[in-house]
């Protein structure tokens, strides 16, 4: 379990890694970070986000009780494979990747027997990147998902749940890797695909002069990191392709109501969507 003596190490001080560090340090925990960008380390130290930071430090790795790998999915696998030989016996390692296929099994297949990797997904973020935008309050209305497998212990699950509570997550749940990637393919990856496609449908550079809140809200997530999200889409492409097919079919259904002047049918679609959206307002 996590105690006030627990030493946290964040690998990668981006928005999420920086926000983890900020939230943990605010709550009195010792937080260190490894980040390739020295300017990010300097910013985090200057603003009290971390206790100690370095672009590379094996002592930090070997002394950490909990390591949060806040890197791109494929990079997370590579980093753990490379540096696990330095992990402290009994250390708990987790990640923040938004896709788990291609991440969890490869890591658990190679991880040392005396340490434990338990994947998790903080479902929070902004359309900005970097530690200078770190903000632990983004977790306070967000969901935190833990993804245990048969290789994980109750103690590790309880520790990650405790960490999520410390960070103030609104809801904490558990899913299998398969259920997670199917779910995330719909609620996150499809929504990003829709936003990107909508912005690429029309190249009118004067849209800003005419649009209202609906267009701005719907396309907010179209400001996207092309390197990260192309990796995420391909790792979860089977689920995403299915969701795109289902979404396309539903758009065609709405289109057919218009073609056939089916007023009542169109209203039924509006009624159903309104009822489903209201569930979020609770």
Cα 33 → chain centroid? 19
Taking only the tens place, the pLDDT of each residue in 142-198 is 999 999 999 999 999 999 999 999 999 999 999 999 999 999 999 999 999 999 999
pTM here is 0.89
pLDDT at 280 exceeding the cut of 90? no
The confidence score (pLDDT) of residue 129 equals 82
Instruction: Assign 275 a pLDDT band (cuts: 50, 70, 90).
Output: very high
Task: Annotate 175-214 with three-state secondary structure.
Answer: CCHHHHHHHHHHHHHHHHHHHHHHHHHCCCCCHHHCCCHH
Q: Report the alpha-carbon distance of residue 270 to residue 253 in Å, rounded.
A: 12
Contacts 24+ apart (CB under 8 A), 182-188: 182/239, 184/98, 184/99, 184/121, 184/236, 184/239, 185/236, 185/239, 185/240, 185/242, 185/243, 186/239, 186/243, 188/98, 188/123
């Amino acid at each position: 379990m996590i105690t006030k003596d627990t030493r946290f190490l964040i690998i990668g001080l981006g928005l999420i890694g920086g926000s983890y560090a900020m939230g943990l340090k605010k709550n009195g925990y010792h937080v260190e970070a490894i980040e390739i960008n020295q300017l990010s380390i300097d910013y985090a130290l200057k603003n009290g986000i971390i206790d100690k930071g370095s672009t590379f430090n094996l002592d930090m790795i070997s002394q950490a009780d909990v390591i949060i790998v806040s890197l791109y999915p494929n990079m997370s696998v590579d980093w753990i494979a490379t540096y696990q030989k330095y992990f402290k016996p009994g250390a708990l390692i987790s990640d923040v990747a938004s896709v788990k296929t291609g991440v969890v099994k490869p890591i658990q297949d190679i991880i040392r027997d005396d340490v434990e990797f338990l994947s998790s997904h903080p479902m929070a973020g902004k359309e900005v990147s970097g530690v200078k935008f770190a903000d632990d309050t983004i977790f306070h209305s967000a969901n935190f998902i833990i993804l245990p497998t048969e290789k994980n212990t109750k103690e590790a699950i309880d520790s990650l749940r405790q960490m999520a509570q410390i960070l103030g997550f609104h809801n904490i749940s558990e899913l299998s890797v398969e259920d997670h990637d199917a779910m995330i393919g719909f609620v996150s990856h499809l929504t990003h695909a829709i936003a990107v496609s909508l912005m690429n449908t029309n190249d009118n550079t004067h849209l800003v002069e005419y649009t209202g809140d609906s267009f701005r809200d719907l396309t907010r997530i179209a400001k996207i990191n092309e390197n990260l999200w192309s990796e995420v889409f391909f790792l979860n492409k089977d689920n995403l392709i299915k969701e795109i097919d289902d979404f396309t079919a539903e758009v065609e259904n709405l289109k057919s109501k218009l073609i056939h002047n089916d007023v009542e049918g169109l209203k039924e679609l509006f009624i159903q969507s309104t009822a489903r959206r209201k569930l979020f307002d609770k």
